[in-house]
Structure 1
Amino acid sequence: MINQDTIVALATPSGAGAIAVIRLSGKDAITIADSCFRSVVNNKSLAKQKTHTIHLGHIVDGPKTIDEVLVSVFKNPNSYTGEDVVEVSCHGSNYIQQEIIQLFLRKGCRTATPGEFTLRAFLNGKLDLSQAEAVADLISSDNEASHQIAMQQMRGGFSSEIAKLREELLNFASLIELELDFAEEDVEFADRTQFKDLVDRISVVLKRLIDSFAVGNVIKNGIPVAIVGEPNVGKSTLLNALLNEERAIVSDVAGTTRDTIEDEISIGGIGFRFIDTAGIRETQDVVESIGIKKTFEKIEQAQVVVFLADSTNLKEDSFIKSFKIEIEKIKNKYPQKPIVIIANKIDKLSETEIENIKSQISDLHLLSAKTGFGVEDLKEKLLSFVNTGALRNNDTIVTNTRHYDSLLKALEEIEKVRYGLDSGLSGDLLAIDIRQALYYFGEITGQVTNDELLGNIFANFCIGK
């Protein structure tokens, strides 16, 4: 499947900028670049230079000079793709970028497909498949936690753990297969007690990795938080306070927010996507009614609900009673969702009034979105809903849905092997389930692949990577 042609693509984001990098990879990468490069020092040839060197010169098209550039040379196999690679750092004009790329295309290059540089790195054994996928996660990481996980996986933390389990299982599988060759002699080469210990250990590791997906998915995609409550309780002011900018319109007029407003911030390295919703109330306004309907849709989609009340209303016992009823309704309707109950605008209350409210409503968080009081405490509370222990301990965390699916299937096969051992099944039947488990392990790291799988994975990459 490895193409022998030479590919070219813009490796930096498209558009004008200070610098742009154009990448070539393939057996003719250095030759093609050399044909268009004029060094400022003694007309040196790129083909004769050492790997991992940088050279100042000009890209020329016949008598025409396109730009002054720096050319980096990486010779196989010591490059990202495992092939000869050239990277041209030019000025970031759109015109210059296109002129240089078009020149290389005329000289025999082909435009790279999405992810083709990383695909070649995988096919040439520079990365396994899970590491290659981590490259895309690293590029798209937008908070500290997702960056940390992607870096760990790109360095091989996850794949090395899977590869070790696969190797141990493969050793026992070989002994089981050997027994089949000597079936008439009725001998056992694989110690069943040791094999059962290995199966138990593999099962524990697989379950830990599968359980980590819940945390990994949250870290990778962020946590949606719905800010809900009646009109004019300060939902938009709270959103602005959390984001530290005037993102939502704030007004004393009830029903100002008629559609959902979303924005994301990082708290403790974890991404949280806050959703400011329309105030919940009975209304005859058609547009506002649509907004309220969307509010309940966003509550369904959110993983955490922040429920606001205007503390100036909570001074009345009758309002406290109705508010507690609303809280119970939300809790009963969404029993699996963490709900943070907040009394906003406490800057307008006396100490006595605050103590009275606190005594009647449990788990109440006091906050003034206008002054910022209690906002940091709210952030800490939201962070407490995320199990960051595994992240702090640098444990392996699964974030990829494909890996998660393969782990589930591998665990299912391992459980079949365990049942077979307990039931005294013959080696030929055990071998079937072991082979399937090995297959799913191989799917994760790329030891088992097909063109369709690789096409689906690398199609999501940017072209220059």
Structure 2
Amino acid sequence: MIAQDTIVALASPSGAGAIAVIRMSGQKAIAIADAVFQSVSGKSVAKQKSHTIHLGHIVEDGKIYDQVLLSVFKNPHSYTGEDVIEISCHGSTFIQQQIIQLLLRKGCKMAQAGEFTLRAFLNGKLDLSQAEAVADLIASDNEASHQIAMQQMRGGFSNEIAKLRAELLNFASLIELELDFAEEDVEFADRTQFKELLNRIEFVLKRLIDSFAVGNVIKNGIPVAIVGEPNVGKSTLLNALLNEERAIVSDIAGTTRDTIEDELVINGIGFRFIDTAGIRETKDVVESIGIKKTFEKIEQAQVVLYLFESVKFQVSSSEFIIEIEKIKNQFPLKPLIVVINKIDLISKAEIENIRKQLEAVNVKLETISAKTNTGIESLKDQLLSFVNTGALRNNETIVTNTRHYDSLLKALEEIQKVQFGLQSGLSSDLMAIDIKQALYYFGEITGEVTNDELLGNIFANFCIGK
């Protein structure tokens, strides 16, 4: 299914800039470059060595479009495995379009989303999980997601899967051989070694599946809902966390009528803070809608940060504790951090008294003054503690892709069927069916098993030019 067309696309972001990069790939890439590029050295592109850069002009019928740098990558030593030409021109949108239109007239076809990487996969330069990591790398917006994408693009995940698949395939072939000699009742596959292999595969699969919870958080960020009564400093806290005036702050209760969201990276992990409307009884129609949205955002959040004002808590502590218990009961699986704001208005002894009351209901307390930034760093550390970064620090394989996660679950199910068959003395022909299914799901991850629909779904999410 490898297309024979020579494709072209803008490989740098669209819009004006200092430099733009236009990429071609295909059998005619070098010939087309020769037709439009005049090197200052006078040499043709075809005679240049691979991985070299040349200064010259893009011209057509004596008309000069731009002075450019042209990079040559000859097959098979290129990103796509085909002949690749990259033209670095000036970043005017007019120049970009003029050069691309010229290349189209000379025989190029506009590349589809992800078509360069698709060709790299089809030509064996990347496996499918590595190709998907390219998209994750482009989309990474913090250190952790970048680290995971780089590890996967270097083949860490696919190498681990490929090794398990190869060992399982070896035993599968021995099982199949036994079927050919069924009448002679011989065993070519050592059942003890086979059991050990299945146990090892099960252990690795479970570890990879468990890593998805951390990987998904790192890839997409952790949503944190900031909730509480009106006018306790939720918007001020959001501004203090982000270190900018993102939310409107006033002394008027109910100022925040809608949810406000922004992101913060703490030690390489992304957090999405959601400042919600204050929770209280109100007849204001607009504010009521905001309060309804607050409960929707709590439902969506992974961490709930419940904010109280220090002075008010002292006056009505029992009422606030009842509210805390309601949140805990309504969302029992969500980590809850209770934050007492405006601690600059009360004494240390009063703070300790509040802490003791909350310890009695098994609640973690953070004390802050959002106005003066007191306690903000401690609160960030507490938020970070909800993320298991041990695997990240140890450079272990972390699964972030939902497709991989689904295939791993299915592979584990088939491996457990084989284990059960082995324990119960199931015949080799029936075990062979489950082994083939496990191998199929392993192959789905790396692309050894694929189809046009799957590839279309994956590469449609890529940007044009990659």
Cα distance in 1 between the residues matched to 2:444 and 2:164: 14
Q: Does 1:129 align with 2:128?
A: yes
Cα distance in 2 between the residues matched to 1:10 and 1:419: 54
Q: Which amino acid aligns with 1:5?
A: D
| CA distances 1:53-80 after superposition (whole Å, capped 9, x unpaired) | 0000000111110000000000000000
Cα distance in 1 between the residues matched to 2:82 and 2:175: 40
| CA distances 1:284-342 after superposition (whole Å, capped 9, x unpaired) | 000000000000000000000000001021232xx111111110010000000000001
Q: What is the Cα deviation at residue 27 of structure 1?
A: 0.6
Q: What is the Cα deviation at residue 267 of structure 1?
A: 0.6
Q: What is the Cα deviation at residue 185 of structure 1?
A: 1.3
Cα distance in 2 between the residues matched to 1:426 and 1:357: 66
Residue aligning to 1:455: 456
Cα distance in 2 between the residues matched to 1:200 and 1:360: 48
Q: Does 1:321 align with 2:318?
A: yes
Residue aligning to 2:426: 425
Cα distance in 2 between the residues matched to 1:350 and 1:302: 33
Cα distance in 2 between the residues matched to 1:289 and 1:389: 42
Cα distance in 2 between the residues matched to 1:130 and 1:366: 44
Q: Does 1:209 align with 2:218?
A: no
Cα distance in 1 between the residues matched to 2:228 and 2:257: 13
Cα distance in 2 between the residues matched to 1:93 and 1:349: 60
**What is the TM-score normalised by the length of structure 1?**
0.99
| CA distances 1:269-290 after superposition (whole Å, capped 9, x unpaired) | 0100000000000000000000
Q: Does 1:282 align with 2:271?
A: no
User: Residue 108 of structure 1 aligns to a residue in which SS?
Assistant: coil
User: Residue 443 of structure 2 aligns to a residue in which SS?
Assistant: helix
Q: What is the Cα deviation at residue 124 of structure 1?
A: 0.2
Cα distance in 2 between the residues matched to 1:400 and 1:142: 16
Residue aligning to 1:99: 98
Alignment map for 1:436-451 (pairs within 5 Å): 436-451=437-452
Q: What is the Cα deviation at residue 184 of structure 1?
A: 1.3
Residue aligning to 1:24: 24
TM superposition outliers: structure 1 runs of 4+ over 3 Å: none
Match of 1:340 among 334, 337, 340: 337
Cα distance in 2 between the residues matched to 1:314 and 1:170: 64
Alignment map for 1:139-150 (pairs within 5 Å): 139-150=138-149
Residue aligning to 2:225: 226
Residue aligning to 1:48: 47
Q: Does 1:360 align with 2:357?
A: yes
Q: Which amino acid aligns with 1:30?
A: I
Cα distance in 2 between the residues matched to 1:361 and 1:27: 70
Cα distance in 2 between the residues matched to 1:104 and 1:356: 75
Cα distance in 2 between the residues matched to 1:104 and 1:153: 34
Residue aligning to 1:379: 380
Residue aligning to 1:181: 180
Unaligned runs of 5+ in 2: none
User: Residue 361 of structure 1 aligns to a residue in which SS?
Assistant: helix
Q: Which amino acid aligns with 2:301?
A: A
* Number of residue pairs aligned between Structure 1 and Structure 2: 462
Q: Does 1:3 align with 2:7?
A: no
Q: What is the Cα deviation at residue 359 of structure 1?
A: 2.8
User: What is the percent sequence identity of the aligned residues?
Assistant: 80
Q: What is the Cα deviation at residue 351 of structure 1?
A: 2.5
Q: What is the Cα deviation at residue 364 of structure 1?
A: 1.9
Residue aligning to 2:238: 239
| CA distances 1:385-429 after superposition (whole Å, capped 9, x unpaired) | 000000000000000000000000000100110011001111111
RMSD: 0.7
Residue aligning to 1:351: 348
Residue aligning to 2:39: 39
Q: Which amino acid aligns with 1:299?
A: I
Cα distance in 2 between the residues matched to 1:170 and 1:423: 22
